[in-house]
């Protein structure tokens, strides 16, 4: 099938209202996700850490990523493209696809279709001006996406030769790509030349999908008719939902129900249709294609993107005049859930998916701020390195291996106290152990009393690890020293000393 992909490069930057001639980068979880053309020219690229980007360009403007804003800004463009064909698949804000056959016949061929699409998006009235657009046509969605990056229309039945020179890394599967590179397979042409049976035997189902893409073929066709029924979930609102968060809260339980229906039939879904109807009969329907099989969280995320733009009134002629009364999520394109071979030491992917669905349902029952999960982050103390965030919400990125002067060394303690436990540490002369300037410890710890309890002999200790936080502000300055202490009963403690007062932050198992 010939597919057209419409791609708006650097959409996170464009949606925020920046131009390509401005030095700007969009950051998510302390990493660059998009940068302007001017910023890329001086070495700021996607995937860099923030400090690396600022080192490459000291004048760089940093903006946090805003998914809601991206969705609202993209809705007018999606609506304009939808006037040409009702079957527009939105993968994410700034990236959508449509089948070429019908629209191309109506608009005078593929070249005429591209001209018309560029024209309708150019005349959409946006506050951000006319965003850049790249169009690509090829057989299959994968090839069409690469064609859009080059801005070319691949001639019919020439997709395989177009793909051949591309690096094997464009497949986007890190483990598979790493293995192929180590085997000497560095471009799609070499990979496509391998026999399909051999690829299946060596690399499994994932390798077969990648091999089909390298040959210019799309993934296996998937059809809802395989089930003989429509897989859909529906919810009505009384009174009507006026806000996106109200609809999204209900959608969490709906998405979980849909995933359970699919699981019972051993099916997976790669395309969904989200329909919303207002109390005045206005309807917005949108197709969403996932980059992989949908999860409950991914469905809710797409619904938020869709409703953010619609209810915000970014398309004046289709702005709803009432609240949402009906919400429907349909599994539009499904197929058999492909099993995967587990590793020798076991993989918990299936168990993790079931746990995620259970947490989604629990959150739907108790509310969005009743279920929390722990996320690692940077910090000096053990309590500083864990953040509790509501389940399903984005949190701080893990900062493994980041330099935090004064942080305690690995391994991490097993038990971290919510409030540090007071302790006393004495030397051989029964005097309190003190930490002098620059971390000098004049006498060694010999025994410890925890929270006024009995004295226990210290058989080993290490430290101190010094940290001086905010030394420029006397009101909040914290000068601390951390020690690891092993007692005679073979229990290890992580101790902290502040103003010569000892306390225990954590205990090792």
pLDDT, tens only, 238-287: 888 888 888 888 888 888 888 888 888 878 888 888 888 888 888 888 88
Q: What is the pLDDT of residue 347?
A: 46
**pLDDT per position as a tens digit, 466-491:** 887 777 777 767 788 889 899 998 89
Comparing 339 with 211, the larger pLDDT belongs to: 211
Q: Do the Cβ atoms of 62 and 95 come closer than 8 Å?
A: no
**Which residues make beta-bridge pairs with 421?**
504
Percentage above 90 pLDDT, the chain: 11
pLDDT of residue 343 exceeding 50: no
Tell me, rounded to whole angstroms, the distance of Cα 252 from its chain centroid.
Answer: 18
Distance, CA of 105 to CA of 112 (rounded, Å): 9
Residues 6+ away with beta carbon under 8 Å from 453: none
Token representation of residue 55: 């080192």
**Cβ atoms of 507 and 494 closer than 8 Å:** yes
Task: Give, for 424, the enclosing helix (H) or strand (E).
Answer: strand 415-426
Structure-token pair, residue 413:
């303690």
- Mean per-residue pLDDT, 296-323: 75
The single residue listed with the structure tokens 């005045």 is 280
pLDDT at 423: 92
Q: What is the pLDDT of residues 355-398, one digit of tens each?
A: 776 776 677 667 667 788 877 777 777 777 777 877 766 555 54
Res 57 pLDDT > 80: yes
**Who contacts 459 (Cβ-Cβ below 8 Å, separation ≥6)?**
486, 487, 488
Q: What is the mean pLDDT of residues 297-308?
A: 83
- The overall average pLDDT reported for the chain is 81
CA–CA separation, 215 and 499 (whole Å): 68
Examine the pLDDT at 222 and tell me if it is beyond 60: no
Instruction: State the Cα angle at 83 between 82 and 84, rounded to 5°.
Output: 90
The pair of structure tokens assigned to 152 is 């070319």
User: Distance between CA atoms of 266 and 272, rounded to whole angstroms?
Assistant: 17
What is the average pLDDT across 331-343?
Answer: 65
Beta bridge partners of 286: 274
Cite the beta strand spans of 213-371 per DSSP E.
Answer: 232-241, 267-278, 283-289, 324-336
Hey, is 51 helix, strand or coil?
Answer: helix
Question: Which pLDDT score is estimated for 381?
Answer: 77
Percent with pLDDT over 70 in the chain:
86
Cα–Cα separations (whole angstroms), residue 146 to 3, 121, 409:
11, 21, 45
**Average pLDDT of span 396-419:** 68
Q: Which residue has the tokens 């040409």?
A: 84
What structural domains does the chain harbor? 225-336 (3.30.1490.100), 415-507 (no CATH)
Q: What is the pLDDT of residues 413-442, one digit of tens each?
A: 888 888 889 999 999 888 999 988 777 888
The encoded tokens of residue 217 equal: 């073929």
Short-list 424, 296, 315, CA closest to 357: 296
* Count of C-beta atoms within a 10 Å radius of residue 147: 26
Return d(Cα 43, Cα 40) in angstroms, integer.
5
pLDDT of residue 256: 85
Residue 101 Cα distances to 139, 152, 161, 359, angstroms: 11, 17, 22, 43
CA atoms 367, 373, 375, 381: torsion sign: positive
């Amino acid at each position: 099938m010939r597919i057209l992909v419409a791609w708006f490069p650097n959409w996170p930057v464009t949606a925020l209202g920046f131009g390509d001639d401005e030095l700007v980068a969009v950051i998510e979880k302390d990493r660059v996700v998009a940068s302007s053309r001017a910023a890329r020219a001086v070495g700021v690229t996607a995937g860099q850490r923030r400090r690396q980007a600022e080192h490459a360009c000291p004048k760089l403007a940093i903006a946090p990523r805003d998914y809601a804003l991206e969705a609202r800004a993209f809705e007018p463009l999606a609506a304009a493209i939808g006037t040409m064909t009702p079957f527009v698949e939105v993968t994410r804000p700034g990236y959508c696809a449509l089948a070429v056959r019908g629209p191309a016949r109506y608009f005078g061929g593929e070249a005429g279709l591209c001209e018309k699409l560029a024209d309708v998006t150019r005349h959409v009235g946006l506050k951000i001006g006319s965003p850049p657009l790249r169009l690509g046509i090829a057989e299959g969605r994968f090839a069409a996406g690469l064609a859009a990056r080059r801005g070319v229309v691949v001639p019919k039945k020439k997709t395989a030769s177009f793909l051949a020179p591309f690096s094997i890394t464009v497949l986007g599967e890190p483990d598979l790509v790493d293995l192929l590179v180590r085997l000497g397979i560095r471009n799609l042409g070499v990979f496509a030349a391998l026999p399909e049976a051999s690829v299946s035997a060596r690399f499994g189902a994932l390798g077969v999908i990648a091999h089909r893409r390298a040959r210019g073929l799309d993934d296996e066709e998937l059809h809802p008719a395989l089930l003989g029924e429509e897989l859909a979930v529906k919810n009505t609102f009384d009174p009507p939902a006026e806000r996106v968060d109200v609809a999204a809260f209900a959608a969490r339980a709906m998405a979980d129900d849909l995933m359970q229906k699919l699981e019972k039939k051993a099916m997976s879904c790669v395309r969904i249709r989200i329909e919303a109807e207002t109390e005045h009969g206005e309807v917005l329907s949108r197709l969403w294609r996932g980059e992989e099989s949908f999860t409950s969280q991914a469905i809710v995320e797409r619904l938020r993107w869709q409703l953010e733009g619609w209810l915000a009134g970014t398309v004046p002629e289709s702005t709803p005049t009432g609240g949402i009364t009906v919400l429907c999520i349909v599994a539009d394109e499904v197929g058999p859930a492909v099993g995967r071979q587990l590793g020798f030491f076991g993989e918990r992917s299936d168990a993790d998916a079931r746990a995620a669905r259970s947490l989604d349902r629990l959150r739907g029952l108790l509310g969005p701020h009743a279920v929390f999960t722990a996320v690692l982050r940077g910090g000096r103390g053990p309590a500083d390195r864990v953040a509790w965030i509501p389940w399903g919400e984005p949190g701080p990125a893990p900062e493994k291996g980041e330099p935090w002067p004064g942080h305690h060394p690995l391994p991490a303690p097993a038990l971290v106290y919510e409030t540090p436990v007071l302790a006393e540490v004495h030397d051989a002369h029964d005097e309190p152990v003190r930490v002098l300037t620059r971390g000098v410890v004049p006498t060694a710890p010999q025994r410890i009393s925890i929270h006024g309890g009995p004295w226990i002999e210290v058989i080993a200790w290490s430290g101190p690890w010094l940290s001086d936080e905010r030394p420029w502000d006397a009101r909040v300055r914290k000068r601390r020293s951390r020690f690891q202490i092993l007692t005679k009963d073979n229990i290890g403690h992580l101790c902290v000393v502040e103003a010569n007062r000892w306390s225990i932050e954590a205990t090792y198992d």
